[in-house]
Amino acid sequence: MLNLVSTSTPRSFSAELLSSRSTPNLYWYYVYFENSSSNPYLIRRIEELNKTANGNVEAKVVCFYRRRDISSTLIVLADKHAREMEEEMENPEMVDLPEKQKHQLRHRELFLSRQLESLPATHIRGKCSVTLLNETESLKSYLEREDFFFYSLVYDPQQKTLLADKGEIRVGNRYQADITDLLKEGEDDGRDQSKLETKVWEAFNPLVDKQIDQFLVVARSVGTFARALDCSSSVRQPSLHMSAAAASRDITLFHAMDTLHKNVYDISKAISALVPQGGPVLCRDEMEEWSASEANLFEEALEKYGKDFTDIQQDFLPWKSLTSIIEYYYMWKTTDRYVQQKRLKAAEAESKLKQVYIPNYNKPNPNQINVNNVKPGVVNGTGVQAQNTGAGRACESCYTTQSYQWYSWGPPNMQCRLCASCWTYWKKYGGLKMPTRLDGERPGPNRNNLVGIMKVDCSVLFPHGVPVRNSGSPKFAMKTRQAFYLHTTKLTRIARRLCRDILRPWHAARHPYLPINSAAIKAECECDLK
């Protein structure tokens, strides 16, 4: 049970966390962590809470990654996997989604990882929900629920790989059986029952319960004697009572009853089958086959990976088959060793923190824009003071020009800003509500509509037709988004045509430092125009 109490989060969030006291499982708390004032929140799953030596509380968490956190090569693989899932689902809903919803749906996709890290509990900024992608659920449902995410792939930060999650829900004709129609009353089933099932025991056999029990005792005795003859078994179970206990396991009883059924419940024939000519039959299950060192490796792997038997086989027990590992797991759960470990973990969980108080986080965000105190900037490296470039600019995401609070966003030279609503969306979902020009998907409202273009008369700037280099500092100032172009007068444009012999534009271009006699060109032009 975990209670996260935060006065810095919205009231609904705090109330939800306080009401979760009845939840017995600590491992389903997905929260936002903030590690940067400008970057989106980190999404993590809390595994446990620990108190450090200096009294601070740290959360041991599982890492989830967004699409923006992985390489473009892996994004291509993720999109390919999504298309394959759409084909399997045979659901045209994704195709019919508007581009805006497709864009926002990408922000809800996460990638699970096996990576663990410890983060300060004071960096928690809210609670969210993360689920395995449900192929039977509408894709729009993920957009309709706030703070809701899904994942279907596992990301390995070290190997830089994406793999399908082992817990993937298999739904569809490829995985579900076809159920036949219900037979009507009196209707005969035309299928051959012998091909559909195999009988392994006859309930109405000629033997009584006492005879069957006696035969099972004989089978256990034969099993004990077989272990005494086997060298490997003598090493594993050196004492007689250990061999007898091993011979009394279910594998011996199953073999005895199979033998009795195969010999048509003739006890004398069945006893002869238990002890063929080569010696008594030895039946051992996975608990008896595994060595003590293999059992220790299995417990270590189970502690690290849980019931992910494929990873357990790959990293710890590659010489064991997957069937053998799964069978051993369910037998291991019946042992005293499992009961002891379960009690030990329960005692450790009882001693760990179950409630943490997150203090009020009231520090102002450095990205907040104070519209009443904006320093004027420098335009295009000149000493001219620019106007307040933030005033009147639209939100980079939703185009609104009205908001109670603005936040700077994106590269500093772009001078973009977000309204309060879009800033919250950016922090939670790692993207903008609409595609931005930084993604190369649309030009954006601020470049074409809201920024005026300075028209400069070249005859004023360059009276001799030659640009004059600024004698100021050779350092280049940061180029702003406000641009200009050289706007010549009609007379200047006409003079370029009429006075080409005097102007010699090609010669002037190759010798930019030679002065041009603009007075002679003007007089010649006026003379030709009369």
319 vs 310, 312, 323, 389, CA distance in Å? Answer: 12, 11, 12, 67
pLDDT at 515: 84
Return the amino acid letter for 135.
E
Helix (H, G, I), strand (E, B) or coil at 399: coil
439 vs 218, 442, 526, CA distance in Å? Answer: 77, 8, 52
Helix (H, G, I), strand (E, B) or coil at 297: helix
Do the Cβ atoms of 418 and 40 come closer than 8 Å? no
Q: Residue 450 CB: number of other CB atoms within 10 A? A: 13
Torsion over CA: 184, 186, 187, 190 (sign): positive
Do the Cβ atoms of 25 and 110 come closer than 8 Å? no
Residues of the chain with pLDDT under 70: 1-28, 86-95, 135, 165-175, 232-241, 351-361, 371-392, 436-485
pLDDT at 258: 92
pLDDT in tens, 376-421: 443 333 333 433 444 568 888 888 888 888 999 888 888 888 999 9
Of 319, 213, 317, nearest to 260 by C-alpha is: 213
pLDDT at 326: 92
365 vs 120, 334, 361, 400, 405, CA distance in Å? Answer: 19, 55, 10, 21, 11
CA-to-CA distance for 467 and 512, rounded, in angstroms? 8
520 vs 212, 495, 517, CA distance in Å? Answer: 128, 11, 6
Return the amino acid letter for 248.
S
Question: What are residue 112's phi and psi, to 5 degrees?
Answer: -70, 150
Q: How would DSSP label each residue in 13-73?
A: HHHHHHGGGG---GGGEEEEE-S-SSSPPEEEEEEEEEE-TTS-EEEEEEEEEEGGGS-HH
Strands 355-358, 3-6: pairing is: parallel
Do the Cβ atoms of 362 and 6 come closer than 8 Å? no
